[in-house]
A and B are shown apart, each in its own frame.
Chain A
């Protein structure tokens, strides 16, 4: 019985965080965001060298073959640094679906290239969680029709994985005829989402996803877990900045952190956030070790981190006073990152309803 990270897991955490701290400071994030680039190319390449994109991928396919806990620790570090690189969809959701439902040919075609940082995969599952403007995507005779919104990591993805209404997962080349892709502008410039319109577009369906929704549902579970971990890191960073600021900023001849009003905001952030770390760790560990709990925990991690993230984002901004809302300070990059994670792959209300169904309460 030991609810703790292993020595190797702590080293992984340190190496990713250490790298991001030196190579991806706010100034670098700002450059990417202001240029409206889809990713920080240098950061992407070094993360490839560190094994990030192949974290889940078997060594047989060129990955490092680690588990979801390691994947979540990486997500936490990326969220902490608001790193402008694809990860949740491309490095976690797509490899999960390929490993579970892909044919040998499909795995061989894509997994090594994902692990090697050669391709980014955009994942379109929004219509299978909460449909808004669109009628979704239908599949017939290897052709796809309809519209997929908020395709995650999708703006300049080399290949798309689109879910159709029957649960099928289809690999779609964005350059093939019948595919139109538009980058959607969101509040968060550190990750990308796209609108993908399909008009008789050719799709290569993952063999195991035909008449089986499990690969789709699993992919959504792990995506939720990773977005929760990303929020954990981003919120932890905001708490740290708040405490630092409260120790420096002086008003009425005192540092503001000595006022209980400010101190208690910091304490409330810490009290809300600290248990989230254990929830994320448990969720990531349980997904493989205690599979019967996996989906419920992924729902709770996603919903709870969305709530706590929102709380921390708001309180942290308040601790910073007027500076908190300026572009100059840049705190808004974390605020928006947390907001992005909240809306994608199911808002807290929708995800909690799913948790009720998973427990057969309704």
Chain B
């Protein structure tokens, strides 16, 4: 066990701190930014790339900083930006860009990666369909080759940010006669292509972050495919791997818990501070124990990753537990606030800008999105514990 950073990394941390001290005033307002949305202003992003704090491991020739991958340095950057409450930059799109760099042609890399990294080409993901959620590989949006073009017909759903995105990466069925996993291809195309219709899907939070996207004879050049025909499922799994890595960050959970502690010391009910109420306090302490356990589990996973080892079970549980804990924390915060916890949409007595109600709903969405809690349990059971899959049911 060695929980200290070595001198090389301490020096790097000091470098990041100095940068933040000197440039913090140029950063966009963190409070207005929602994680996962590519709304970091372009000047800030450019400054971060120049210093190696964004697009760090993306090669220089594709607009990145071109550093060797170093998990600890990536983590130090994230930690220090979070500590300074300064928004981080991005790497273009953390699902699309690594996938193109790994599996795209040279031409595709030149076309897609540099503008994405600069924030000039934004992306949405066309995976889920009304009839294909957890069973994604059953998707039926089809693309047929007509001369030099794919012709796409069908529908996607839960498409985050589709109304603002410049481009979509999309799974379509191109080999209708092949077994379901082998009949899918991965296409990329502009959202301005004729025949695409985006209909906002208003969520329980009241926003229209998700969309339905309809395709009617959408024509896309033949070479806008990543990987080969029929290999889209394999390509998509590369992407999913990158997406899942980002869910359930234990450091973020600890910060959030500390905000609840502060709130419980501040808020009173019938003249008593909430922290002085043993029942509320016990709920808080239970969560603290769970969050600490997940924090240290995260350190263990990190150490395995640094050494290039497979973390095993410690990794499989991160999404399930992390999302659940976040949801429970938001639930506690709302209960701490009592009636005040109901306020929303900029009411006068609102606490923390309505953060907790928004999180309570958003975090429930995250328990479902990116592989539901039940699908996570199947994966833990089957892949980590080696339990057998459920017998297949033949299609009716």
Q: What is A's interface to B at a CB cutoff of 8 Å?
A: 1-6, 69, 243, 246-247, 254-255, 257-260, 263-264, 266-268, 270-271, 274-279, 281-282, 285, 289-290, 297, 300, 303-304, 307, 349, 352-353, 355-356, 361-362
Contact = CB atoms under 8 A, between A and B. Distances in A.
B120 interface: no
A352 B286 contact: yes
B72 A361 contact: no
A304 B380 contact: no
Contacts of A3: 1, 3, 296, 299-300, 302-303
B289 interface: yes
A264 B391 contact: no
Interface stretch (B61-69, B216-224, B382-390): B382-390
B143 to A, nearest CB: 34
B304 to A, nearest CB: 8
Interface stretch (B27-35, B90-98, B274-282, B327-335): B274-282
B303 A2 contact: yes
A361 B377 contact: no
Interface of B: 1-6, 9, 72, 261, 265, 275-276, 278, 281-282, 285-286, 288-290, 292-294, 296-297, 299-300, 302-304, 306-307, 313-314, 316-317, 320-321, 374, 376-378, 380-382, 384-391
Contact of B387 (A243, A275, A277, A282): A243
Contacts, number: 158
Contacts of B265: 361
B306 A266 contact: no
Contacts of B261: 361
A346 to B, nearest CB: 13
B293 A275 contact: yes
A277 B384 CA distance: 16
A289 to B, nearest CB: 7
A258 B390 contact: yes
Nearest to A4: B303
B382 A352 contact: no
Given A5-B1, A243-B387, A278-B314, 10 more contacts: A1-B4, A1-B6, A3-B3, A4-B1, A246-B387, A255-B388, A257-B387, A258-B391, A275-B294, A275-B314
26 contacts: A1-B9, A1-B306, A2-B303, A3-B3, A3-B299, A4-B307, A243-B387, A246-B387, A247-B388, A254-B391, A263-B377, A267-B376, A270-B316, A274-B313, A275-B293, A275-B294, A276-B293, A278-B299, A281-B300, A285-B1, A289-B1, A300-B288, A300-B293, A303-B286, A353-B281, A355-B289
Nearest to B377: A267
A281 B282 contact: no
A357 B307 CA distance: 39
- Secondary structure of the A contact surface, majority rule: helix
Nearest to A361: B275
Contacts of A257: 381, 387-388
A278 B374 contact: no
A131 to B, nearest CB: 19
B265 to A, nearest CB: 7
B360 to A, nearest CB: 21
B381 to A, nearest CB: 4
A54 B113 CA distance: 60
A352 B281 CA distance: 9
Contacts of B376: 267
B374 A264 contact: yes
Nearest to B317: A271
Given A275-B321, A352-B286, A356-B285, A264 B297 contact: no
A281 B378 contact: no
Nearest to B250: A275
Contacts of B389: 258
Given A266-B385, A271-B320, A279-B293, A285 B3 contact: yes
A303 B286 CA distance: 8
Contacts of A254: 391
Contacts of B9: 1
A264 B1 CA distance: 33
Contact of A4 (B300, B382, B386): B300
A274 B275 CA distance: 30
A271 B1 contact: no
A4 B311 CA distance: 11
Contact of B275 (A259, A264, A267, A362): A362
Contacts of A353: 278, 281-282, 285
B3 A275 contact: no
Given A247-B386, A307-B286, A362 B276 contact: yes
Given A264-B381, A279-B296, A362-B281, A1 B390 contact: no
Contacts of A1: 2-6, 9, 72, 302-303, 306
Contacts of A355: 285, 288-289
B275 to A, nearest CB: 5
A10 B206 CA distance: 52
Contacts of A264: 374, 377-378, 381
A11 to B, nearest CB: 15
A267 B385 contact: yes
Nearest to A271: B317
In the A-B complex, list the 6 residue pairs whose CB atoms are closest, starting with the nearest.
A278-B296, A275-B293, A263-B381, A304-B289, A267-B377, A267-B380
